[in-house]
Amino acid sequence: MLLLTLRGVVRGVKGCAIKAAYFKTKVSFSSSCSTVTKAMATQIPLSEDFFFRQLFDRESCTYTYLLADTNVKEAVIIDPVFELVDRDVNVVRELGFTVKFAMNTHMHADHITGTGLLKRMLPGCQSLISRNSGAKADVYVEPGENVTFGRHQLEVRATPGHTNGCVTYVSHEQGLAFTGDAVLIRGCGRTDFQEGDARTLFHSVHDQIFTLPDNFRLYPAHDYKGQTCTTVGEEKQFNPRLSKPIDEFVEIMANLNLAYPKMMDKCLPANTVCGLHDL
Q: Does residue 16 register a pLDDT over 90?
A: no
39-53, 76-90, 168-182: range with lowest mean pLDDT: 39-53
Percentage of the chain modeled with pLDDT above 70: 84
Predicted confidence (pLDDT) per residue in 174-224, tens digit = 999 999 999 999 999 999 998 999 999 999 999 999 999 999 999 999 999
Q: Does residue 21 register a pLDDT over 50?
A: no
Predicted confidence (pLDDT) per residue in 91-139, tens digit = 999 999 999 999 999 999 999 999 999 999 999 999 999 999 999 999 9
- DSSP assignment of 24-36 equals -S-----GGGHHH
pLDDT for res 43: 84
pLDDT for res 277: 65
Which residues on adjacent β-strands are paired with residue 126? 101
Q: Does residue 23 register a pLDDT over 60?
A: no
Predicted confidence (pLDDT) per residue in 138-171, tens digit = 999 999 999 999 999 999 999 999 999 999 999 9
Predicted confidence (pLDDT) per residue in 24-38, tens digit = 333 333 444 455 555
35-49, 61-75, 133-147: range with lowest mean pLDDT: 35-49
According to DSSP, the β-strands at 98-103 and 126-130 are parallel
Amino acid at position 220, single letter: P
Mean pLDDT for 54-76 is 97
Which residues on adjacent β-strands are paired with residue 222? 62
Up-side HSE of residue 124: CA atoms within 13 Å toward CB?
8
φ, ψ for residue 19, nearest 5 deg: -145, 30
Mean pLDDT for 264-271 is 95
- DSSP assignment of the chain equals -PPP--TTSSTT-TT--SS--S--S-----GGGHHHHHHHHTPPPPPTTEEEEEEEETTTTEEEEEEEETTTTEEEEES-BGGGHHHHHHHHHHHT-EEEEEE-SS--SSS-BSHHHHHHHSTT-EEEEEGGG----SEEE-TT-EEEETTEEEEEEE--SSSTT-EEEEETTTTEEEEETSSBTTB----SSTT--HHHHHHHIIIIITTS-TT-EEEESB-SSS---EEHHHHHHH-TTTTS-HHHHHHHHHT--PPPPTTHHHHHHHHTTTT-TT-
φ, ψ for residue 36, nearest 5 deg: -70, -40
Distance (Å, whole) CA 252 – CA 29: 27
Which residues on adjacent β-strands are paired with residue 187? 184
Mean pLDDT for 221-237 is 96
Q: Does residue 2 register a pLDDT over 60?
A: no
pLDDT for res 177: 99
pLDDT classification of 263: cutoffs 50, 70, 90: very high
Q: Does residue 14 register a pLDDT over 80?
A: no
pLDDT for res 278: 52
Contacts of 164 (CB under 8 A, 6+ apart): 132, 133, 134, 195
φ, ψ for residue 112, nearest 5 deg: -90, 135
User: Which CATH code, of 3.30.70.1380, 3.30.470.20, 3.60.15.10, 3.40.640.10, is assigned to 49-254?
Assistant: 3.60.15.10
Please name which of 81, 45, 77 lies closest in space to residue 61, comparing C-alpha atoms: 81
pLDDT for res 230: 98
Distance (Å, whole) CA 162 – CA 144: 20
Mean pLDDT of all residues in the chain? 88
Domain ranges (residues) in the chain: 49-254
Count the neighbouring beta carbons within 10 Å of the beta carbon of residue 147: 21
